[in-house]
Chain A
């Protein structure tokens, strides 16, 4: 199986007033297609930096990042935007919905930038909203929805361009435990469809539901374990 994501010796340095801070000091791993990976680590371990790099929001100081065979590390700002628009699905801890737009319009938003907006877009957004269980709330504004519902909108939005690779940044960090389970269940379904998912979390219970957990510490991979399905906790 070809890998969805492959990173080699990824480094990210931040120049600060007191000197250079190394957020990532040579991280390498590979994510095969269809994998469901959780990235854990204490704060300051480089989780967020790694997620920004994986999400093509930033470029590494050194190292390589292959996304479906292309080295993203060498791409220009516009090319990165293109990748974000067409090949990535993003789910954030704080949902990041536009409060002025309705549910459907929020789901539709990435289509503006992928150039795929067309006459059938509305129908597609409606069916995605139904899929995440919000078929009856199409014209609501984000403020009228609960946290769990908002995250469902965000997931529907990340699916609108049908990406093969999805990134989730503590998607359940702002949710109660019952809603957390629902959202994780939804992500699991998406993974079962063959989408590769990388999820950042600091909750072991969340990580336990993924297939594999990478633990970061001080900008390096500390451990990388596969979880055998059905294995006792």
Chain B
């Protein structure tokens, strides 16, 4: 005997193939729903993965305190920002810290013979390279001893080195920073600029930097920075631009952040600093991601319901159209259950077909997005640049569980929306159905 299920299945396929166009259109409804589930989840995952990586690149154990210029309606003075006192206070009073890194950044011009370059002079401690994930390309970074001695040593960023020393080894040469000479003791490898994180942390380019010991900077350059350009005179007195605190244990990051907030707030009456805690951002990102998934799921659910209504609509039309067939089958011995199974199988086959094709198209998402992006970039390069970086670079990541979930939902939709038409078909009185024209 041929198994009952495969017989019913065969019957369903035959009936559906009698109306190829109608069947295709109905399948399309489910296909779009399922494909959109997979696509939306893949794009959502891609965006959240990218933002999490950015946040993680700031260091999950770090707390970053940065000087910001207070709003002009609040403050008209010249002295603001983080101070050496803040730095000493934090490093001596917060016990959970592994490392405290003070940073002073000043726009500066670097010269070597006839070549010159506008860049960023960074005063820091020897920990800077490790903390910012900078790698040496040659020479060495300055040491604690160099810092104590306040030596005029400098380390060049990759681009600075390349521009000032297009040929030859910069190590051992002297460059002019402001009106002081510094010995080049090392230079760094190229590092991709760090991306800004959600508006709370600006993007940073490390390649045009020159690093010197921060004590040297304090002594030789001082805290004052004057911009003198035609029609503009501005003076800022800042002791530190940034203090990067690294917490020893991941579990202590959030409590330490609270302590740091209180501690700094006590010494600042102006809002002239901002604290960024990558771990808090990570947690926010996770919450956002969850919301995103729920939101996208809702959209996808709506499209699946629309697809299901399409199935129901077609099946109801089919039942009416095939009333006589139902009558004939009943007269030849079909039970109500046989009729229910026949029609339910048809709606399920429709939805499973839509589900499988939808998953197939869903899997094409990463390829399709990169193709679209290439086409878009070729045609509208300016518009492309105007897009937020997260959108511009998003790489969809197929979420593995989205596939069984999408298929499962498709089957459920087929059954749920197929039940009513099937029941209607089975309820027909065989005598009435037989007379139906």
Contacts and interface: CB of A to CB of B under 8 A. Distances in A.
Contact of B329 (A100, A109, A117): A109
B335 interface: yes
Nearest to A98: B325
A52 B15 CA distance: 28
Interface in B179-235: none
Contacts of A75: none
B1 A85 contact: no
Contacts of A100: 14-15, 18
Given A98-B325, A100-B15, A52 B431 contact: yes
A110 interface: yes
A217 interface: no
Interface of B: 1-2, 7, 11, 14-15, 18, 324-325, 327-338, 430-431, 434
Contact of B333 (A96, A113, A118): A113
A128 to B, nearest CB: 15
25 contacts: A55-B331, A57-B330, A57-B430, A57-B434, A58-B431, A78-B337, A81-B334, A81-B338, A82-B333, A84-B330, A84-B331, A84-B332, A84-B333, A85-B333, A86-B333, A90-B332, A96-B327, A96-B328, A96-B434, A100-B14, A100-B15, A113-B329, A113-B332, A113-B333, A117-B2
Nearest to B430: A57
Contacts, number: 68
Contacts of A115: 1
Contacts of B330: 57, 81, 84
Nearest to A161: B333
B18 A110 contact: no
Nearest to A100: B18
Interface string A112-126: 111101100000000
Contact of B1 (A96, A97, A117): A117
A88 B337 CA distance: 20
B335 A113 contact: yes
A110 B14 contact: no
A55 B331 CA distance: 8
A81 B336 CA distance: 9
A189 interface: no
Nearest to A101: B14
A187 B332 CA distance: 19
Contacts of B331: 55, 57, 84, 90, 92, 96
A77 interface: yes
| Top 7 closest pairs, chain A to chain B, by CB | A85-B333, A113-B333, A81-B335, A84-B333, A110-B332, A96-B328, A113-B334
Contacts of B11: 112
Given A81-B333, A84-B332, A85-B333, A113 B338 contact: yes
Contacts of B430: 57
Contacts of B7: 112, 117
Interface string A44-68: 0000000010010110000000000
Nearest to A119: B2
